[in-house]
């Protein structure tokens, strides 16, 4: 008997997924556990295996379609069942346009209808010379002739040609702004095979720099499941527009942001940390980390600073369970790192960050970020976070109001490290300042608790010895 395969919950509390690609078609023989399709769920692309061996009798949906958990997405059976089902599934309906292929039958007039007057040969030539896409069906008209390139509309004999004002305007493509970059950087992008138009510039006035190009090249091209937005040119009453379907990661981000803003009371507080000493430590250890193939940035130190502060203020390492009306304080520290990809922000998390060294965290962040951009993360690596860090300073931002990674109680935004004159003990000194923005759920955390937590994060950044000894 044919087996109806229902879309399973392949994550924690998964309710739906978006089809990326079917790896089989109707009539294929599949083995047990052979991948049937790829589905995008919670910003990860996962393969869904076949639950049994047999022949694919039918499949449901295509790329971009949403499927619900528990919905039948495929039917698998034996060869006999395939044979009985195949005609209904695969056999195309006979084309109605195949009959009028012989010209001699078209020339014979019907006894009830007078023959159509022949068109001049010149007009027929001009008509057939036009592209098919220009043929439009207007109300009250019929397609009367069929050619190998499609159906062509026959106009009345004496119908006047439309004026230029009456002709429909074709969609005007939106011109892309010129990318600002130095000639040498344009040459570098060409040598590396990088589309400079796809690179986000972090230089003055958004100029694309050499570092931007090399970082883009190192990130690599997104692999399975990655889809760039494909706009469709058109017009509205004011001029040219471009419409892009909201799908994939962008659709999930949109839903998550709305859920976060509607289900929590979000407040943001800001402050600054003197990161001069921490910066010097990083500079001193960077070469040694490089010998171990680890790219050392300030972010792993900030992760450890956050963990140290979370230990002192455990309420910040919590989540609200709205169904039960309970605050769930987590006894583990899985720190989410927001990663910018061509599809949008993806937030994998470093598991048990409190048990790992600075270099281990640095290596793990780099690995997670690379696989996030290539869309090869597992769902497990995207689930179970307790606190999130978003480092918008890496692309030039100072302060922000980050949105919670719901249902987490807090998120820390890290701005751009910059030099700033600071008054200390009656003197003006130039310090390396790190801007910080903390958004918290005011239902769970009071403002005073949030500021105490941020003070502790700053204390760990300004005194890195606290990071090393875990206080």
Give the catalytic positions in this structure: 442
The residue count for the chain: 471
With tokens 């304080």, the residue in question is 329
Give the contacts of 226 (CB within 8 A, at least 6 positions apart): 341, 342, 343, 374, 375
Among residues 247, 208, 219, which one has the least CA distance to residue 231? Answer: 247
Is-contact 202 179, C-beta < 8 A? no
DSSP characters for 77-102?
E-HHHHHHHHHHHHPPPPPTTSGGG-
Distance CA 62, CA 39 (A): 11
Is-contact 227 380, C-beta < 8 A? no
Distance CA 310, CA 331 (A): 10
DSSP characters for 363-423?
HHHHHHHHHHHTT---GGGGS--SEEEE-GGGGT-----PPP-TTBSEEEEE---EEEEEE
With tokens 């044979």, the residue in question is 83
Among residues 371, 340, 21, 374, which one has the least CA distance to residue 223? Answer: 374
């Amino acid at each position: 008997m044919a087996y109806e395969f229902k879309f399973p919950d392949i994550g924690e509390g998964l309710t739906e997924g978006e089809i990326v690609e079917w790896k089989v078609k109707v009539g294929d023989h599949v083995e047990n556990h052979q991948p049937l399709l790829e589905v995008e769920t919670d910003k990860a692309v996962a393969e869904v295996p076949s639950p049994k061996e047999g022949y694919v009798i039918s499949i449901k949906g295509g790329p971009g379609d949403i499927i619900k958990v528990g919905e039948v997405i495929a039917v698998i059976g034996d060869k006999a069942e395939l044979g009985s089902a195949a005609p209904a599934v695969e056999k195309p309906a006979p084309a109605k346009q195949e009959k009028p292929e012989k010209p001699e039958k078209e020339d014979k007039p019907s006894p009830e209808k007078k023959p159509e007057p022949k068109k001049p040969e010149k007009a027929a030539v001009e008509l057939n010379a036009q592209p098919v896409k220009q043929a439009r069906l207007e109300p009250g008209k019929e397609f009367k002739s069929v050619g190998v390139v499609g159906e062509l509309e026959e106009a009345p004999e004496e119908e006047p040609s439309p004026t230029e004002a009456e002709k429909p305007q074709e969609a005007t493509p939106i011109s892309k702004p010129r990318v600002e970059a130095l000639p040498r950087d344009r040459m570098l992008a060409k040598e590396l095979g990088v589309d400079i138009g796809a690179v986000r510039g972090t230089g003055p006035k958004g100029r694309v720099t050499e570092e931007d190009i090399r970082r883009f090249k190192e990130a690599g091209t997104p692999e399975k499941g990655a889809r760039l937005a494909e706009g469709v040119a058109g017009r509205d009453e004011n001029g040219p527009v471009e419409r892009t379907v909201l799908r994939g990661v962008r659709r999930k981000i949109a839903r998550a942001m709305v859920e976060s803003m509607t289900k929590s009371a979000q407040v943001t507080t800001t402050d600054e940390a003197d990161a001069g000493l921490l910066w010097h430590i990083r500079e001193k250890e960077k070469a040694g980390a490089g010998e171990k193939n680890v790219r050392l940035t300030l972010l792993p130190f900030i992760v450890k600073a956050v963990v140290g502060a979370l230990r002192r203020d455990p309420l910040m390492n919590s989540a609200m369970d709205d169904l039960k009306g309970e605050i769930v304080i987590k006894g583990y520290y899985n720190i989410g790192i927001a990663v910018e990809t061509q599809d949008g922000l993806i937030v994998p998390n470093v598991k048990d960050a409190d048990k790992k060294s600075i270099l281990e965290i640095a290596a793990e962040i780099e690995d997670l970020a690379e696989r996030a951009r290539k869309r090869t993360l597992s769902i497990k690596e995207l689930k179970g976070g307790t606190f999130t860090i978003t480092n918008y300073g890496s692309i030039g931002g100072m302060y922000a109001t980050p949105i919670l990674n719901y249902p987490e109680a807090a998120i820390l935004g890290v701005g751009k490290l910059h030099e700033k004159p600071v008054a200390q003990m009656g003197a003006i000194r130039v310090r390396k300042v790190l801007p910080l923005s903390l958004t918290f759920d005011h239902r769970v955390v009071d403002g005073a608790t949030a500021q105490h937590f941020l003070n502790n994060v700053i204390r760990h950044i300004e005194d890195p010895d606290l990071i090393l000894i875990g206080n």
